[in-house]
Chains A and B, each alone.
Chain A
């Protein structure tokens, strides 16, 4: 068991890498988690930044109306570049600039506010429609009575039609599932990155000719040596899988309903096995740590992007969507594709992942044998 212990000891050297990496992952996962769902209709909440240069009764009423339905940040100073930047990067849906002459402009029926938004987006139309409505009503009050009656206006604006959901809406169970699915998607990226970096760099050192020649002369059979290395790698892999899995359980301990936990655990184990097999093939090909690190980043990031881990696959072009269907990480996500997914429904994706693992294992064995024969 000497090799097994030495490999584990080398893994322990990565502890200061694993801790911050895991910590960052869980902080980001917690930031991304959303609370609950709804069986009733809820209009979309917009992120709006308002600059109020008027500070009048009418502008206060407009801000109160917007704040009742949306997330509104009111700032004092107009920094157009700052606002444009926030809209450009989609940090907010729109910026509303209220001029100092706002009240007078509403009275006389002139353009009274400036909106910075992407006019192509649905959110922009929603924002335009709600602000136009408020301003038209306020203008009508000025025309009819000569002054604004903020209370009557707010009362009228809260008189809304009843909305019924034809579908099931976003139930709490569905929301729980969405949270679990996004967590598991990111967990796969983390697992792959961690395993490929640690195993890759460790094995690139282990496979160096000088060490391999000493191994050959040592009284340990090649089968025993391979089994010990594999055992240590699997142990570390399972440990990482359990950290990710129980991290999910701990983060959402009170919202586990609707999460296909058994499917997620199996998916994590399979992606761990696939990553180990792929890394085995890479290490059989090269011991250059720049190539190992480069491939690690390229494969993890590339697979994650092309499989819809970071960006929803629906936003891809048709060619990219077809490519995604051939990738192992895509099939990983399909193992837990729905909250009520059955084992028979995920059987195909499980088989494809197993086949990928097997294929890389065979490639690794072939290259490993070639490498050993050339070293001797």
Chain B
């Protein structure tokens, strides 16, 4: 059979399977839509001002009025306690200089730090003329954090590994002891190499189509610009899809395991890797990177996620080729193992 025709038939078979289309296209699109609906405020609210109560005769009253982000209002202790409970003010300064806050938190910490500074200026025992109150000792390099982008990028990375399913099905369908088709196939003179290549190309095409749709969807509907270097991103995604094919071959080799049980393995495997790479929010990724860094160093999905955001948001290509080499390396090793496992296999009975 003509090679291109074989690829065409394999693509048509997959396109006719509603479940496959739902899993590879529908599911990722719905997932990123949920992310967009829930993560827009993940970085938290901006700090605009800290409201403080104080008695007018408090020694800190006038000094606090000079601080740009603090608003001071005069009030009694009992009024302050009510306002604190209702979270209308962050803190209250007593006549004796003690501070009352409702609970621990960033705003309370900033207020404490400012009041400490006023007190410590006296404690230091240096005449006031030696203090340069107008000098800015800090040069700020401002960044706008967007931790939610990791979730989008890990979704794209996750989809790039979906080729696992195609190659796993391919190997299972070719094993004579696992499927009827495999038994017929092994008895036929049809070229195995040709079939494996055609299936891999068809799987790669479907994987890239799925990735392309999700990227296009994110480019159209997401507020932030996520893909500043699209060709480089596609390069990583192609490598991810090829690695997915390799990993699928290995899973497909598992002997005498029902295809239904086998199909759960990549689902859990990919979701697990995506979870560690940041799919469920940056918190898990941060904790894993801090406590068990080797996990994400081995995690191909974390490599894809990291490289995509480095390339697109940091203009950093340092790890680009290393990641591609790592992903291609996975594929080469997997192909090699598959080749050894499948070649010259003989069965007493099927």
Which residues of A are at the interface with B, using a C-beta cutoff of 8 A?
13-14, 17, 21, 24, 27-28, 31-32, 38, 41-44, 81, 84-85, 87-91, 106, 109-123, 125-126, 128-133, 135-137, 139-141, 143-144, 152-153, 155-157, 159-167, 169-170, 193, 197-198, 201-202, 204-205, 286, 288-294, 296-298, 301-302, 304-306, 310-311, 315-317, 319-320, 323
Contact = CB atoms under 8 A, between A and B. Distances in A.
A121 B47 contact: yes
Given A114-B141, A137-B120, A144-B130, A202 B260 contact: yes
Contacts of B232: none
Interface in B252-285: 257-261, 263-265, 267-268, 271-272, 279-282, 284-285
B123 A135 contact: no
B137 A106 contact: yes
8 contacts: A41-B101, A41-B112, A130-B113, A162-B99, A291-B19, A297-B271, A306-B34, A311-B39
Nearest to B120: A156
6 closest Cβ pairs, A-B complex = A290-B19, A122-B106, A288-B19, A294-B23, A135-B137, A291-B19
B340 interface: no
Contacts of A106: 137
A121 B38 contact: no
Contact of A117 (B131, B143, B314): B143
A122 B109 CA distance: 9
A72 to B, nearest CB: 14
A125 B110 contact: yes
Interface in B118-156: 119-121, 123-127, 130-133, 135-147, 150
Nearest to A117: B143
Contacts of B264: 14, 17, 197-198, 201, 293
B189 interface: no
Contacts of B219: none
B178 interface: no
B69 interface: yes
Interface in B7-59: 17-20, 22-23, 26-27, 30-31, 34-35, 37-44, 46-47
Most buried by B among A89, A111, A130, A296: A89
B243 interface: no
Given A197-B268, A201-B261, A291 B23 contact: yes
B140 A136 contact: no
Contact of A156 (B44, B124, B267, B290): B124
A305 B314 CA distance: 27
Contacts of B292: 27, 31
Given A43-B109, A131-B138, A167-B102, A294 B260 contact: no
Contacts of A201: 260-261, 263-264
A311 B38 contact: yes
Contact of B120 (A13, A43, A87, A133): A133
Nearest to B146: A88
Contacts, number: 315
Most buried by B among A90, A152, A292: A90
A243 B47 CA distance: 43
A358 to B, nearest CB: 26
- B: interface residue count bin: 35 or more
B191 interface: no
Tell me the dominant secondary structure on chain A's binding face.
helix
Given A166-B102, A290-B20, A137 B124 contact: yes
A89 B286 CA distance: 8
B27 A297 contact: yes
B140 A115 contact: yes
Given A201-B263, A290-B19, 8 more contacts: A89-B282, A115-B141, A126-B110, A137-B121, A144-B126, A163-B112, A291-B18, A294-B19
A355 B308 CA distance: 44
B137 A111 contact: yes
A9 to B, nearest CB: 12
Contacts of A140: 124, 126, 130-132
Contact of B142 (A119, A137, A144, A165): A119
B288 interface: yes
B44 A121 contact: yes
A296 B267 contact: yes
B22 A291 contact: yes
B145 A122 contact: no
A152 B124 CA distance: 7
A282 to B, nearest CB: 12
B226 interface: no
A161 B19 CA distance: 64
Most buried by B among A27, A28, A41: A41
Contacts of B75: none
A91 B37 contact: no
Nearest to B44: A121
Nearest to A163: B99
B95 interface: no
Interface string B161-201: 00001000000000000000000000000000000000000
B57 to A, nearest CB: 17
Contacts of A197: 264, 267-268
Contacts of B103: 165, 167, 169-170
B313 interface: yes
A197 B260 CA distance: 10
Nearest to A42: B104
A325 B203 CA distance: 40
Contact of B40 (A41, A122, A317): A317
B314 A81 contact: yes
A167 B43 contact: no
B117 A129 contact: yes
A316 B119 contact: no
